[in-house]
Each structure stands twice: as structure tokens, then as C-alpha cells.
Amino acid sequence: MSPSEWLQETLHRNTKRRLAYYNEKSRSEGIVFPILTDLLHQNNFSFSLYSGAIIEGDKHLGLNGECDFVLTKAQQSIELERPVFCIVEAKDNDIELGIPQCIAQLYGARLYNEKSENFSPAVLYGAVTTGTEWNFPMAARKYSLYRRNIVLYSQFIATFGRSKSYCFTI
């Protein structure tokens, strides 16, 4: 699978004059959201995408909070539905700062999933990005893992199909 023409044009327009690099919000809206919506369309809406969703994992452990993007296997609805299988975070300039945050959010998502009788994925996937760099942490039931290798934007787009399968395999 490769990026659609729409995604290529959108990213070109949003990054041409660095419009999508002003801050975390502009990166989130100008780069990450178009990529996720393209994945959603190319996967025939087989998952749901929520922007700014709040995960209520465990208040006492501090694992409640807003995530930039949450992907679930449930039918799209107004409220966040379980099971969550992927969390995506956009960061300003330091991708390393986002990795612990994303791993904590993945753990919170695990606890959130376990509050339901619905299927809870064995592995939860994450993505942390500055818009030009990407990292893909993941969390299993007993451990979390992230790769120190940073994927550059051009590599991410070049391997779009492989990145898609990595992020969305349950």
C-alpha cells in the first residue's frame, strides 16, 4: 500500500512552507491527522479514529488523560469505544520526550480495555512523531518496548504499507 494522491498532495501543501511545523498542534493537524485518515480510508474504515480522546485507565496511578489520537477496533461513535489498539502522539521537537508519555498512555489504554468484556489486544501499538521523525513503541501485557531507531518522514512515507501493517496488526 502506498500513500494516496490526496495524502501526498495534502502533506506537500502542509509542509511546503513548514506550515505544519509551528507547534505540536500544527504537526498533529497538518501531518499526523492526514496520515491517519488516509490509513482509515485505505483500510475501508476497519478501525475508528478519535482525536483528543480521554483514556480513563487508572486515576490513582495517574493513567487518565487526553491522547492526541486513539485508534480502536470498535465501530465509530461519539464516545470512545473499546478496544483501543493504538495511541499516536505528536511532539514539538524532542521525540524522546514523547516515548515515556506514549508508553504510559499504552498502559492506561490496557487498563481501560480491561474494564470491558470486549476483546483486549495482546499488544498495543503506539507512534510518537515530530512530523519529520517517527518512533513506534508498543506494550504487551507484561512489558513495553520501543525501538531507539528513529524513522525519518521520507522513510515513513516510503514504507507506508509496512508501517501500516506494523501499527495496525492485532
Q: What's the pTM value of the predicted model, to 2 decimals? A: 0.80
Domain boundaries, the chain: 5-168
3-state secondary structure of 58: coil
**How far apart, in whole angstroms, are the C-alpha atoms of residue 153 and residue 159?**
10
For the stretch 29-51, pLDDT in tens is: 888 999 999 988 988 888 899 99
Tally the C-alpha atoms within 13 A of residue 83's C-alpha that lie toward its C-beta.
Answer: 18
What per-residue confidence (pLDDT) applies to 145? 60
Nearest CA to 83 out of 119, 54, 115 is that of 119
Q: Quote the DSSP letter at residue 1.
A: -
CATH of domain 5-168: 3.90.1570
pLDDT for 164:
40
